[in-house]
Amino acid sequence: MLVILPPSETKSDGGSGAPLDLDALSFTELNPTRERIADAIVDLAADLDASQRALGLGKTQLAEVDRNADLWLSPTRPAIERYTGVLYDALDHRSLTKAGKNKAAERLAIGSALFGVVRATDPIPAYRLSGGSKLPGLPTLTALWKPDLSAALDAVDDFVVDLRSGIYQQLGPVSGAVTATVVTEAADGTRKVVSHFNKHYKGLMARELVRTRRTVRDINGLASVLGDAGQRVEIARGDEIVVITD
């Protein structure tokens, strides 16, 4: 099973790993596009105003430009430790047992506007680039990523659970992947798609999928693992799992 998580705009600082080496990342067939985008954001960092516009930064976020300027020089850390925020708080990788962390290394990947997709243990630096960003002089990120990223993910010989948000799914759709929708259910039975807490529940899903000892091969097995963990789930169509909250 491969579970693809969305990235986060917030990222931890620092790290103890050597500077970025694309050959140290998984899915090395993506390296030409990774290098092209990385060089573009480093060049962009030389122009503060252009970076602010292209990256959608507010006045209090200009330190993100410095991160991009130092992309090839700054220390790295495992991707699962680099990304932060609501989903990653719920996943709580640090609290996993050794066995859980080993399963996380095997089962988790993270979508990325810069790297396309990385495995949980791939060493990456802090950076700023969102799926909807438009870099001067380059095609859209979707145009850059879609052919090669979809091919790389389709080549994964495993059951894929795609928890990425829509904009990141568009960068590289995965044929046959199961997606997840989180909804709230009112007392009268009406349902509404969850926005902010969507990330929280997807983090809990990912946590259960790296803790389970079972081998999940299809959507029925996925629903079983989540149900046994106390989540209320339904199968919608054959490729979507619905998580129902109060």
Per-domain boundaries in the chain: 2-245
Dist CA 125 CA 145 (whole Å)? 20
196, pLDDT greater than 80: no
20, pLDDT greater than 90: yes
CB of 236 closer than 8 Å to CB of 176: no
Dist CA 166 CA 162 (whole Å)? 10
**What does the pLDDT read at residue 237?**
81
Q: What is the dihedral of CA 28, 217, 207, 106, to 10 degrees?
A: -30
Q: Quick count: other Cβ atoms within 10 Å of Cβ 47? A: 13
Average of per-residue pLDDT across 33-41: 98
At CA 31, angle to CA 27 and CA 36, rounded to 5?
145
Dist CA 37 CA 145 (whole Å)? 10
**What does the pLDDT read at residue 223?**
97
- CA–CA distances in Å: residue 50 to residues 73, 95, 157: 22, 40, 41
**What does the pLDDT read at residue 59?**
87
How high does pLDDT run on average in the chain? 96
Q: Quick count: other Cβ atoms within 10 Å of Cβ 70? A: 17
CB of 109 closer than 8 Å to CB of 206: no
DSSP 134: -
**What does the pLDDT read at residue 33?**
98
Average of per-residue pLDDT across 224-231: 96
**What does the pLDDT read at residue 238?**
82
**What does the pLDDT read at residue 234?**
96
